[in-house]
Amino acid sequence: MDNFTLTTVEEFEAATNRLLETGAQVGADSWQQRVKNQTPHCKFGEEGICCRICSMGPCRITPKAPRGICGCDVHGIAGRNFLRFTAGGSATHSDHGREICHTLHVASPDGNYQVKDPEKLIKIAKEWGVETEGKDIYDLAHEVSELALLEYGKPFGTQRWLKRAPEKTQEIWKREEIEPRAIDREVSCALHMTHMGCSSLPEALIRQSLRCGLSDGWGGSMCGTEFSDVLFGTPMPVDTEANLGVMEKDMVNIIVHGHDPSLSEMIVKYAEDPEMIALAKSVGAKGINIAGVCCTSNEVAMRHGIPMAGNFLQQENVVLTGACEAIVVDVQCIFPALGPLSKCFHTKFVTTSKIAQMPDSEFIHFSAETAGENAKAIVKMAVENFVNRKPELVHIPDMKQKSTVGYSFEAIVKTLDTVTNSYVDVTGTTKPLVDCVRSGVLRGAVAMVGCNNPKVRPDTAHIELMKKLIKNDIILVVSGCSAQAAAKAGLMDKRAKDLCGDGLKRVCELADIPPVLHMGSCVDISRMMILVAELAKDSGWDINQLPVVGCAPEWMSEKAVSIGNYVVATGIETFLGVHPMVKGSSVVDGLLQGGIHDWVGACYHVELDIDKLGDAMIQTIEEKRAALGI
Ligand code: MSK
């Protein structure tokens, strides 16, 4: 196998333990310790049966006290909590998308941001009925971005992007009254419904949870993905490396962390500025090394091949290497712990967004208008900090894997086109992929997404499930921190084809792809929605008939719940390795794990045993194949 082996979770853990020794030496706190301090968790919170919605409470439901002071029962309370959780996630993703629209609105030929994919912009404009003929590309960008921004608050109608779904799916959404209206309206409506004295009917609360989720996946997130591509380029396959070994001992290391590529793109650009490189050399460094954490990492890896230092539960590790000059963050999934931790080292913890302000950080307000000067100031600060490194604390684990990333929907279609000469008549479609599935060369696909969560041994579920699935000829499309787990292990190295079943191995060889395809960050799950929509159209099957399932084995955030809701509502069976906080209500849990199937043709499946979770996915894929007669 050309000396190729996967990196094991045990090796990840040994590297982390060595870094924690450095942490102990300097009196640093760690998430591992905080988990111990917080365990056992509050049962009422964990089961979703604590209500803090008004100040008569908090009310906690027990057999002796089956109703809150207002009379709400356990099902109403768990349902309201679930809807509020969803609204938090939908608002977060969608606001990220809104920021990208604003950035596009200030794009100009001589400004901080340009249009890098005019073709995609024109395609979207045509889709939205905007006249493109003879129009300056920047005028078009401003017009389309304004239309996109109006999607957030439009008084009438539903989301424009819904038209991308197959008609059957659109009919289901209409029939079930879950077509998302204005994005902000669905979030507002969720908060209104869950206010004291409004909805306590579980069915109504779960129906709005699906609608609010759909306003994210087929609304705000899709804006985030599509307009990021317009601004920064649609990802195409590119080689990179992953894990902490991508940090460089003799270079200035700047870690970018968070989600919005508007910041990280600029940091990448200014790190290549000859003036900054000269400055780095003048302070004794060999140059400037940028690496990413969490979804920012996915964004810059997919577009520039910037290496990926790690995922969610590895964010403290980059500081613990003692070789991080600056960790620069924007929004979402950033541990406030980075403030005090960075104080134990020479690391500058730089916050940049008014949305995510934290103690013990250096705040440099980053805006689209001043992006260039902000990025330059941040890079300069990091470079000048190199001299403050304490060599005795530096330890970079010698651990990294090669990865090929950047499989946007367009890249997947293009890759298939180049290898399937016999399909000259279907250029630009997913038909070759459909044929692989129909013939059984590929049994199906799993969209694996989501975070790490200390409730699951970090990265184990992602990696073990992926290994099991590819062995069974099931191709993976992945995003978020799941993508980084795969990359760190080596599953995005093309040589990982040797771990696949014969069918998937053949596909990997023909298409020259790894068996686990990196589709991007958490907003980019909208790319997966486009992929399943096109697969359904090209196959003639409905989305809920496709041998495709979703999986978030280590999820933890509100965004993940919003994602889960739009994936399920799109008709994709979704498998979870962490139970949603609704266990206290048999009715809400029953709806999520069964009842909603009657509405949208899919539901959640929760299984904490990872091996059984994998078996259940394979079984569902095989059942779908049998139902299709393939
Ligand atoms: S960063 S939401 S921990 S995937 Fe998008 Fe990772 Fe989950 Fe954040």
- DSSP string of 501-569, one letter each residue: -HHHHHHHHHHT--SEEEEESSTTHHHHHHHHHHHHHHHS--GGGSSEEEEETT--SHHHHHHHHHHHH
For residue range 282-297, what is the model confidence (pLDDT) as tens digits? 999 999 999 999 999 9
Span from the CA of 316 to the centroid of ligand 1 (angstroms): 15
Confidence class for position 620, pLDDT limits 50, 70, 90: very high
Q: What is the pLDDT of residue 3?
A: 81
Give whole-number Cα distances, 181 to 99, 188, 189, 213, in Å: 20, 11, 10, 11
CA of 540 to the centre of ligand 1 (A): 33
Predicted local distance difference test score (pLDDT) of residue 531: 97
Asked whether this chain's domains 244-393 and 403-628 adopt the same fold, the reply is: yes
CATH number of 403-628: 3.40.50.2030
pLDDT exceeds cutoff 70 at 424: no
State the number of CA atoms in the 13 A half-sphere of 521 facing the CB.
Answer: 34
Say if ligand 1 is within 6 A of residue 334 CB. no
Strand ranges of the sheet holding 574-576, from the earlier edge strand across to the other edge: 516-520, 474-479, 444-448, 548-552, 574-576, 604-606
DSSP 3-state of 605: strand
Cβ 559 under 6 angstroms from ligand 1: yes
For the segment 600-604, the average pLDDT, to the nearest whole number, is 98
> What is the rounded (10 degree) CA torsion for 588, 592, 594, 595?
60
Architecture (CATH level 2) of domain 46-232: Up-down Bundle (1.20)
- Which helix (DSSP H) or strand (DSSP E) does residue 350 occupy? strand 348-351
Tell me how far CA of residue 272 lies from CA of 264, 275, 322, in angstroms. Answer: 13, 9, 23
**CB 481 less than 6 A from any atom of ligand 1:** yes
pLDDT of residue 351: 98
Best residue among 31, 86, 294, 521 to mutate for probing ligand 1, ranked by most atoms within 8 Å of CB: 294
Question: How many angstroms from the chain centroid is the CA of residue 368?
Answer: 23
What is the number of other CB atoms lying within 10 angstroms of the CB of residue 131? 10
Q: Quick check: CB of 333 below 6 Å from ligand 1?
A: yes
CATH number for the domain whose boundaries are 244-393 = 3.40.50.2030
CB distance 497 to 446 below 8 Å: no
Mutate which of 299, 522, 555 to test ligand 1's pocket (most atoms within 8 Å of Cβ)? Answer: 522
How many angstroms separate the CA atoms of 143 and 527, rounded? 23
Q: 156 by DSSP, 3-state: which? A: coil
Ligand 1, atom 3: closest residue by C-alpha = 451
Residue in 316, 332, 562 to alter for ligand 1 test, most ligand atoms within 8 A of Cβ: 332
pLDDT category of residue 418 using cuts at 50, 70 and 90: low
pLDDT over 90 (residue 323): yes
- How does pLDDT run across 92-125, given as a tens digit for each residue? 999 999 999 999 999 999 999 999 999 999 999 9
Domain boundaries, given as residue ranges, for the chain:
46-232, 244-393, 403-628
**Which pLDDT tens digit goes with each residue over 468-513?**
999 999 999 999 999 999 999 999 999 999 999 999 999 999 999 9
pLDDT digits (tens, 9 = 90+) for 430-464: 999 999 999 999 999 999 999 999 999 999 999 99
- 365: pLDDT strictly greater than 90: yes
Mean pLDDT computed over 208-224? 98
| Percentage with pLDDT > 90 across the chain | 97
Does the structure show a pLDDT above 90 at 419? no
Q: 422: pLDDT confidence band, cut at 50, 70 and 90?
A: low
Residue keyed to tokens 């073709």: 119
Residue 427 pLDDT level (bands cut at 50, 70, 90): low
- Predicted TM-score (pTM) of this structure: 0.97
Task: Measure 387 CA to ligand 1 centroid, in angstroms.
Answer: 33
Q: How sure is the predictor about 416, in pLDDT bands with cuts at 50, 70 and 90?
A: confident
Between 566 and 2, name the one with better pLDDT: 566
Q: Could you tell me the two tokens for 274?
A: 């000859």
Residue 187 and residue 94 in contact, taking contact as beta carbons nearer than 8 Å: yes
For the record, the structure tokens of 255 come out as: 């870690």
Quote the mean pLDDT of the chain.
97
User: Rounded CA gap, 567 and 210, in Å?
Assistant: 9
pLDDT band at 417 (very low <50, low <70, confident <90, very high): confident
Q: How confident is the model at residue 160 (pLDDT cuts 50, 70, 90)?
A: very high
